[in-house]
């Protein structure tokens, strides 16, 4: 249940911040796009699964779906981390492709920085925790 709540919280926290010269720093949370709403919905389902598990034993198919839900949240977060880093590298390559004799383009390209936000790291941790815990309970029952 706690992992589901952590997924919901992570969906609303900052996912990335990008600093670009002249433009400044831009921060984006998961709910700025559709992916954050998807992870929040999955987090709600995980929390409901946890609450229902406290009341009674659930069928193994429901537990298996909860494991897959936790893994999907972690997968979405890892995909977003890789995509962020790839996008920044593409931006740098495009900026430095416009060669100038004074080296301004290269200096601007090197000044672009991106940081993965706490929300994505929380999603990875909470998704893996949910999957591991529910997986452990499945194995323990057998």
Mean pLDDT, contiguous 10-residue spans, the chain (142 residues) = 96 91 87 93 96 90 95 96 88 75 75 90 97 93 77
Give the pLDDT confidence score for residue 136 in this predicted structure. Answer: 93
Strand partners, 16: 28, 116
State the pLDDT at residue 52. Answer: 93
Rounded to two decimals, what is the model's pTM? 0.85
pLDDT of residue 109: 76
Q: How far is CA 126 from CA 52, 82, 104, in A?
A: 18, 18, 42
How high is the pLDDT of residue 112? 80
């Amino acid at each position: 249940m706690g992992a589901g709540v952590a997924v919901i919280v992570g969906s609303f926290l900052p996912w990335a911040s990008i600093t670009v010269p002249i433009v400044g720093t831009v921060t984006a949370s998961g709910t700025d796009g559709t992916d954050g709403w998807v992870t929040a919905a999955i987090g709600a389902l995980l929390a409901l699964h946890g609450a229902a598990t406290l009341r009674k034993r659930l069928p193994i198919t429901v537990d298996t779906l909860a494991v897959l839900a936790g893994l999907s949240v972690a997968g979405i977060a890892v995909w977003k981390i890789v995509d962020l880093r790839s996008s920044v590298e593409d931006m740098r390559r495009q900026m430095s492709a416009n060669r100038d004799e004074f080296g301004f383009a290269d200096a601007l390209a090197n000044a672009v920085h991106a940081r993965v936000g706490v929300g994505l790291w929380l999603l990875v941790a909470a998704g893996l925790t949910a999957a591991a815990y529910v997986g452990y309970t499945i194995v323990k029952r057998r």
